[in-house]
Chain A
Amino acid sequence: MVLKKMKRHWQLYFVVLIPMLYVIIFKYVPMYGALIAFKDYHVVQGILGSPWAGLKHFEYFFNSPNFWPIFNNTLGISLYALAVGFPVPIALALALNEVRQGAFKRLVQMVTYAPYFISTVIMVSIVLLFLDPHVGIVNMLIQALGYQPINFMGTAGFFKTIYVLSDVWQNAGYAAIIYIAALAGINTDLYEAARVDGASRFQKMLHVDLPGIMPVAVVMLILSVGGIMNVGFEKIYLMQNQLNVVSSEVIATYVYKEGLLGANFSFSAAVGLFNSVINVILLVTVNQVARRYSENSLW
């Protein structure tokens, strides 16, 4: 029975062979490898041969003085990024939707998408150059206005804001695309009806546009919340220095430093696993909540 079903498209098994080999080797074998979080991993003994350690590494992490600061930074940066980064693209899309097709609209769209294509390394370099205490343009402006220069990157308190605002600068335009597409798909009868009812432009935005993009917004929100524990390691690591580390150390940078720079494989794997598990729980929970209170959810 099964064999007969399999025979119909037998050639496709060869087609998926190499891609699935990749998925198994680079995605599923590491999941199995995450077992070392419960072991005392030694290179010579390998994953199976290393002795079991139970929850030792997890306990050590939870009890270490680093735990709460790192956990709070991870959550804090993410929530801050979500609170600012989620509404801005929606506002941008709603505003662009009001503007007639033409040169102005095309120009705004083209320029605001552009930073998305800048690499993380370059993005961070730009931030560092602009905020440099003595040669950066921001501090030159501050000095021109008669104030003392501010050492932005060397002040822990500024870190999260710099991270979030530069993220919005880089990604808001691109993130707006999906909402612009959703707005273009709204049934024109609704606008007609709103016009007949004498709705103002603002009322139309509030009662037609906004509900129209809700389904997309909910899905985007679920995805963002699902990624909360995966704050942009690449960018944070580049922005980090000794002076701001108290507010820039997140789980991902900690895993990297402990694991690869410090060679504490098992401990670091435990921290990483903790992160992954929280992520799954968050994603499932948000999806559940979304399913209960609206018709939109991922599954």
Chain B
Amino acid sequence: MDTVTITMKNAPALYLEADTISPDAFAGKSAAQIAELPVFEGNNPSTLGKYFEVTGNAGATAADTRIVVKGDVKRVKYIGFRMTAGEIVIEGSADQYVGGWMKGGKITVRGNVDAFAATAMKGGEMVIEGNAGNYLGAAYRGDWRGMSGGKILVKGNAGSDVGMYMLGGEIVINGNCDVHVMTHAEGGRVIIRGNAASKLGGQMVEGDIYVFGSIDVMMPGFKPVDEVELTVDGTKAKFAHFIGDTGERHKKKKGVVVYGNLYKKI
């Protein structure tokens, strides 16, 4: 695997939309060719090399390419956009849409990510060592197809609207989580090891939410059914089991109504 290191040297005056920072766009290119890749600063077309120092050549394919992003990229959006393979390591914090529509490969962020990380993610892996913003693994504005595959681990806290319209895959949040989790979801699961706020599983059709800590306010559409012993993310514990959202439509599988599940550790 060949490593390309891009280091922020001239910070953009406006937000940078850099959907070309991905192993797929870099694959087969030399450092000089990578510096020529197009980006937008605000609505002005520009090139990656204007802002970043690029060292190292990419591998022949996306899978053979590792990208290390150094320097302050807090104002850079769309890193890892639509990536299918390979690896990205962001040493600091990044702006919105990190790993949006990604299908494969791995993204590691040492710092925080802003909103809309892993929007409509289909596969691959994302590790956020700091905190995640709002709408992690959610659907794009107006869309009904959120994260459908892959795995996200947030070591810190997450913002609101995690897994909105989620269809599949897994999100693990080691810290706490803000309001609205898996709203409108039709699959997948979200594990919150810390505390959750309120409105978990609103209009949820299918999917699973696990909460290890406290829940400020339960949705009225969830009803307790039983207590179960489960091994969740490597931890064995006893959980109170709720089903819902009872105010939402639900499919039947083999004559049995399938609800969304909320498990709260006892």
Is this pair of chains taken from one and the same complex?
A: no
| B contact residues vs A (CB 8 Å cutoff) | none
| A contact residues vs B (CB 8 Å cutoff) | none
